[in-house]
Amino acid sequence: MMIIATAAVLVSSAQIAQAPTVAQTTDTRGPCLDSPKSVPNVLGDPFERSSEVVRIDKVVSTRTMMASEVIGFLYTRQDGKTYLGTRSAQYTSPASAAQLNAVLASTRGADVRETSFPPQTRLGVKTSGPPFLGVHIPQNAWDPLGIRIEPCVSWPSGSALPDPT
């Protein structure tokens, strides 16, 4: 009787351990823990399901002295538009910021006026600069820009996105 009770406890423990938590399926950065946004948060206007982030990719430098240094993130929305964003401030070096700004200047969308990311704060005061800017980075531009794009996290295909409101 004791063996049967122990087996039942082990089976139910294994089932509980395998059950996904809500946080794992609705708000994740995956291995991109220093990404300012997560999947599936809304990114930009309009504030609707089509503007939810469904994929985050790392923008990795191939020119820095540190192998595989992440210099920023590429966010893909449900509507297919892509946006470039910086790493969290404590992880951004001046060299990686300069290279990410070169990527932005070369690949920004037609409606994006900015050619570099302004600081999010200046002397502790929040600025009004946009944290994410529309870009289109064709694969044949990766080598001249000294970058590669690596997958980080994506919303499961076929799974419904949560209501952004």
| Cβ proximity of 147 and 106 under 8 Å | no
Please give the C-alpha separations between residue 59 and each of 4, 42, 94, in angstroms, as whole numbers.
53, 20, 16
| Model pTM score | 0.76
The model's confidence at residue 11, banded by pLDDT at 50, 70 and 90, is very low
Question: Which residue ranges make up each domain of the chain?
Answer: 25-154
Please give the C-alpha separations between residue 69 and each of 31, 59, 62, in angstroms, as whole numbers.
14, 9, 8
Q: pLDDT for 83-105, tens place per residue?
A: 999 988 788 888 888 999 999 99
Peptide bond preceding 40 in cis form (omega within 30 of 0): yes
| Cβ proximity of 144 and 62 under 8 Å | no
